[in-house]
Copies of this chain bind each other. A is one copy, B any other.
Amino acid sequence: MKRLPLSEIALVVGEEHLLTSQEDCSCYGYDASKLQGDAGCVVFPGSAREASSLLKLANRDRFPVFPRGAGSGMVGASIPLEGGMVMALTRLNRILEIDADNMVAVVEPGVVTGEFQKRASAHGLFYPPDPASLQFSTLGGNVAMCAGGPRAVKYGVTRDYVLGLEAVLPTGSIVHTGTRTMKGVVGYDLTRLFVGSEGTLAVFTRIILRLIPAPRAVRTLMAVFPRLDGAAQAVCDIIKNRIVPSTLEIMDQATIRAVEDHLRAGLPKEAEALLLIEVDGNPAGLDEEVADIQAVCLRNGADAVDVARTPEDRDRLWKARRSISPALGRIRSGKINEDVTVPRTRIPSLVRAITALAKKHDLTIVCFGHAGDGNIHTNIMLDRKDPEELRRAEKAVEELFRTVLDLGGTLSGEHGIGLTKSPFFPWETGPEGLEAMRRIKEALDPLDILNPGKMFVPNRAFFGAGKAASPS
């Protein structure tokens, strides 16, 4: 690794926006994967022009650049390799415009997702993507990873709301992609190519987002199912009944038990599944939809369907869902959280296969997530300091991924590849798909400057054997 041209870097961003101490650098070297990398410096560019100058320096001196939002990513996609430059976009945190008439916003990448939703909401507008980290994740990071969330079943994911970008390419040129309009077919769709490219193709400095009218009303239901198959069939039947809920969450038995041990809220520990369902839209139509959903759940064997009548009721129903994370923390010190996704009719097959995997490898595995779109968060509970348990977990993850692909699913519905899934990436793309992606990367980043060592490089960091980034 060449030495970083720190004095020139300081000239670009100003001394006050450059960190070089090991301690400071390590604060910007982690993400939610618990991996940790050690950068050589951290810069906070204040404009596209500054980001461009930094990338031009990087190309001249051939040092790697690792763009970064709030570090809420799950797969190590923003972890720096040793000695490289972290480019933190958090200084670019302005909401530049909310054009309520045209339902379009222009934001900088460092805006926190939840803050933006609040600001949009003040205009009667709605920005649906709702990753679990939305209280601290940034829109730039959401775009880089194509963040999802519970509302995706009705409203789609981040890609469905990005209309255009101001983006700095790896070589330093600044492009403006997309439009401010809903329609636009002028040339290749660079916007959607860059969404979800995990910081390897472009640094975003402005984002044009689509907003929609806020729904007029919301209704919330919770249904308890003695049998998993009944819950899964109910999920399909609700949607076949021409109702698309805005949330359709499932918790399996292991999750119910963990939450009940934690909350003591009276959840039935013998139930195999629990569904949390929300519908939103025109209030005149919602009561009928609620009644239809109740009927579908009961027809599929639900013991009880609880309908929230007040905001307090609604909070109560959400409490179980929101308590999953702290409840799991009580089971084991660590977890591996995979976000596999299958066609929704295959959820019972997936959950059964996971139950079998847990038994085979003597692991506690907890499943919950977004049943409406088949995105099941699969949490292998473990103690990361127990190498033998970690090895069993590794084996289980490999078998999980094979199963998911056999079921017509995908390795990742929300989190992406980054470091932790890179060894399995070609399983899904095939060699030809991987080669096409690699050629695009080389075309836009011939010197492999922007976020190298991820995605295309099978990294064993996940298994505790990574060099540049090893588990903390």
**Contacting pair A444 B433 (CB below 8 A):** no
For residue A23, CB closer than 8 A to chain B, the reply is: no
Enumerate chain B residues within 8 angstroms of A411, measured Cβ to Cβ: 186
**Contacting pair A442 B440 (CB below 8 A):** no
A197 to B193, CA, bound (A): 12
**Which of A156, A284, A430 has the most chain B CB atoms inside 10 A of its CB?**
A284
**Contacting pair B281 A187 (CB below 8 A):** no
A179 (CB) vs chain B CBs: closest residue: B410
A148 to B289, CA, bound (A): 30
For residue A160, CB closer than 8 A to chain B, the reply is: yes
For residue A285, CB closer than 8 A to chain B, the reply is: yes
Enumerate chain B residues within 8 angstroms of A285, measured Cβ to Cβ: 281-285
Contact with B along A416-432 (1 / 0, CB 8 A): 11000100010011101
A195 to B187, CA, bound (A): 10
A146 to B183, CA, bound (A): 10
**Contacting pair A417 B187 (CB below 8 A):** yes
**Contacting pair A173 B101 (CB below 8 A):** no
Residues of chain A from 395 to 453 with CB closer than 8 A to chain B in the complex: 408-417, 421, 425, 428-430, 432-437, 439-444
Enumerate chain B residues within 8 angstroms of A212, measured Cβ to Cβ: 244
A415 to B187, CA, bound (A): 11
**Contacting pair A433 B341 (CB below 8 A):** no
**Contacting pair B104 A429 (CB below 8 A):** no
Contact of A201 among B152, B188, B281 (CB under 8 A): B188
Q: How far is the CB of A444 from chain B (nearest CB, A)?
A: 6
**Contacting pair A425 B195 (CB below 8 A):** no
Given contacts A188-B201, A430-B176, A432-B175, contact A244 B213 (CB under 8 A): yes
**Which of A148, A215, A440 has the most chain B CB atoms inside 10 A of its CB?**
A440
A190 (CB) vs chain B CBs: closest residue: B436
**Contacting pair B180 A343 (CB below 8 A):** yes
Q: How far is the CB of A226 from chain B (nearest CB, A)?
A: 22
**Contacting pair A173 B344 (CB below 8 A):** no
Enumerate chain B residues within 8 angstroms of A102, measured Cβ to Cβ: 343-345, 374
Contact of A187 among B100, B343, B433 (CB under 8 A): B433
A240 to B124, CA, bound (A): 8
**Contacting pair B100 A240 (CB below 8 A):** yes
For residue A2, CB closer than 8 A to chain B, the reply is: no
Enumerate chain B residues within 8 angstroms of A417, measured Cβ to Cβ: 185-187
Q: How far is the CB of A423 from chain B (nearest CB, A)?
A: 13
Enumerate chain B residues within 8 angstroms of A157, measured Cβ to Cβ: 183
For residue A80, CB closer than 8 A to chain B, the reply is: no
Enumerate chain B residues within 8 angstroms of A241, measured Cβ to Cβ: 213
Q: How far is the CB of A214 from chain B (nearest CB, A)?
A: 7
A409 (CB) vs chain B CBs: closest residue: B181
A156 to B147, CA, bound (A): 20
A183 to B100, CA, bound (A): 28
A241 to B169, CA, bound (A): 40
The contact sample of 30 A-B pairs, CB cut-off 8 A, is A99-B343, A101-B343, A146-B185, A159-B189, A160-B160, A173-B432, A173-B435, A179-B410, A181-B341, A181-B374, A181-B375, A182-B373, A183-B375, A184-B413, A185-B417, A186-B411, A186-B416, A186-B425, A186-B428, A187-B425, A188-B201, A189-B197, A190-B437, A192-B192, A192-B193, A213-B243, A216-B242, A281-B282, A281-B285, A284-B284
